[in-house]
Structure formats: C-alpha cells, structure tokens
Amino acid sequence: MNSKIAHIALFTSGGDSPGMNACIRAVVRTGLFHGLKVSGIIRGYDGLIEGLIQPLNSHSVSNIIQRGGTILKSARSQRFMTSEGRKMAAEQLKNHQIDALIAIGGNGTFTGAEIFYREHQIPCIGIPGTIDNDLYGTDFTLGFDTAVNTAMQAIDKIRDTADSHNRLFFVEVMGRDAGFIATWSGLASGAEAILVPEIPTHLEDLITKLETGWKRQKSSSIIIVAEGDDAGGAYEIANKVKERFQHYEIKVSVLGHMQRGGSPTCFDRVLGGRLGAAAVEGIMAGRFNEMAGLINGEVVFTPFIQAIQHELRIRTELINLGEMLAS
C-alpha cells in the first residue's frame, strides 16, 4: 500500500449519468474503511479551481445509491483547459492537503487528468461515467444500462401508439459520436431499422425496407436514430423519407435528456460500487493515471492514454442481428 496517500478527493465531470451516486458512495465508504480522509469536489474541474471542496463522511453518502444525477454536481470547465487554470487547481489541492484524485467522467475528464499529472504530478484514477458506453477499457460505463433501459421503455410505449394508428415513428436517442444506445435499445424493442454514426446510412435501403414491410401488411414501424447519424437527426431523416414514402403517417419522437435521468438499474448500482471500491484500492496500491473498468466481468485498469486514444466501436454482429431479426 502507498503510505503517502492519506487524503483523496473525488469529483464528477462532463455529462451526468445514473450510477454516479452509487459510485460516489462506494469511493467514500471504501476510503473510510481503509482509514483515508475523503473529500468531495463540487462541480468538477471548475469547482477544483474555485476550491469548492468539502469533507465527506459515511453519513454524507447515505440514501443516495438509488438516486440519479450526482450529488457532487458536474460541469465542463474551459478554465481547466488552460495551464493557468490547472495551476490554480494544483494550488487548491496543496492547500487542502489532498494527495490523489478519483475522477468519474469520460474521455475529456481523463484527458484533463492526464495533462494535470504531467504538469503537476497529481495521481488520479478514473471511473468511466457516461451513458454513451464509448470508452475503451471497459465493457460497460456507468449509466449506460439505465439509459438504454429508459430508451427501451419509451420505445415500447411509442410502439403501442404506432401500432394503434398504423404509424411510422422515427425515435431519436442520444449518441452524438457513438451508437451504443441506439443499437441496444433498437434490438431490445424490435426496431425495424437502427441508424448509427459508425455506419453510413443509405436512405434508399431504408425506403426499400419500409416498402417491403408495407407489402407484408406491417401495421407499424419504428426506426431508431442516434442523434449523430450521418444522414441527420430524426426530423431530417423523417422529412427525407416522407418525400418518398407516402403510405405511413410519419411521426418523430426525440427522447432527449430523459435518458440521463432516473433511478439507476441494479447493474449500474453494482457497477458503481465495484469500480468505486477498485479505484480507491488502486490508488492505495500505487496505481495512477489509469481508468478502472469492467471487462468480461473482471475489474481491470487501463492507462488513460489508451482509454483516450483508442476508439470503442459497436460490434458489427449486433447491427447484423438487428437487420436479420427485423426482416
């Protein structure tokens, strides 16, 4: 164990995701179990620069495991992107006698932590917290399971009304750069097509598929669109299809930020607990500049550089499975 680590601080950064509070709880209670002092930084890197740091105890994290969002708040910091901002952050850590950081966030969070270490030698362990599930070094990120279940439940409800009125629905889910939510929720809800940023969308193929379904007297169709699809968002694609496909009444539903909220699933709560505890024990064992993730059911540590530079892509067999099952 690293005897130099006596005081750790944790923060959440970037977009919030369900399971962050479960992870905060695990970090705090694991740290206390091992005799460490634990502090929380409010509003991410911005709060660190401003010195918004408060001590956390066991009671501080009571009754939060079931809550969505993050009790530590979150923010994206332009100031931390500057050397002056990072210098101010390092001074705050020195003033509060904090030895190491645990950062719950995504790619941008870990990029900042990597630069911070190179400039000021502040050890940090990262925990992947993003609903997009697009980080290399883990099979699942905090919040993905909850977000994809939220999307699936919404799509199921939309299917009811689509079927009742013989409608074609385009449902837009989150995923500016990655189509994991679209793929998983589309598979789980039996979508007729799934459009994701990773794979070029050919509208002619989509129209052909819809026409085939119409000839089979299909009473409704659901098309899942990730917001970052190359053909545009759900509204744009729906308008293009409407010009060519007059048979269905076409509707659009954008699920938006509801996918970020809500009580985390059992999986996300357990994942937050496992990764939170692993991050603390990793710091104590002398690990730093690494992300704690879950691969094949086991906790693993991946250097920030690898997690940042490598791109996690959707398995093509999932896309192929969706197309086969919708045929």
Residue 229: which CATH number?
Answer: 3.40.50.460
Residue 61 maps to a domain: yes
Domain boundary among 238, 260, 282: 260
Q: Are residues 71 and 154 in the same domain?
A: no
pLDDT of residue 221: 83
pLDDT of residue 266: 97
Ramachandran angles phi, psi of 65, nearest 5°: -60, -30
pLDDT of residue 318: 86
- Establish whether 132 is a catalytic residue: yes
pLDDT of residue 300: 97
Q: Are residues 23 and 81 in the same domain?
A: yes
pLDDT of residue 3: 60
Q: Are residues 148 and 59 in the same domain?
A: no
Cβ pair 307, 171 in contact under 8 A: no
Ramachandran angles phi, psi of 54, nearest 5°: -135, 145
Range of the domain at 273: 7-143+264-309
Q: Are residues 269 and 136 in the same domain?
A: yes
Which segments of the chain are extended strands (E)? 7-12, 37-41, 53-55, 100-105, 124-128, 167-173, 193-195, 221-226, 249-254, 290-295, 298-303
Q: Are residues 32 and 103 in the same domain?
A: yes
Q: Are residues 256 and 276 in the same domain?
A: no
Q: Are residues 92 and 102 in the same domain?
A: yes
The 3-state DSSP class for residue 104 equals: strand
Q: How far is it, in rounded angstroms, from Cα 50 to Cα 210? A: 55
pLDDT of residue 33: 96
End-to-end CA distance of the chain: 56
Q: Are residues 49 and 130 in the same domain?
A: yes
Q: What is the total count of domains within the chain?
A: 2
From 16, 46, 132, 145, active-site residue: 132
Q: Are residues 221 and 304 in the same domain?
A: no
Q: Give the list of residues 6+ apart from residue 253 with CB closer than 8 angstroms, or none.
A: 154, 158, 169, 170, 171, 172, 234
Q: Residue holding tokens 């992300």?
A: 291
Residue 112 maps to a domain: yes
10-residue mean pLDDT series, the chain (327 residues): 83 93 98 97 95 96 96 89 94 96 94 94 95 94 96 92 80 91 94 89 82 67 89 87 78 90 96 98 94 96 92 81 80
pLDDT of residue 1: 55
Cβ pair 26, 38 in contact under 8 A: no
Q: Are residues 193 and 247 in the same domain?
A: yes
Q: Are residues 304 and 198 in the same domain?
A: no
Minimal CA–CA distance to 308: which of 146, 25, 117? 117
- The enclosing domain of 104 has a CATH number of 3.40.50.450
Q: Are residues 162 and 91 in the same domain?
A: no
Residue 150 maps to a domain: yes
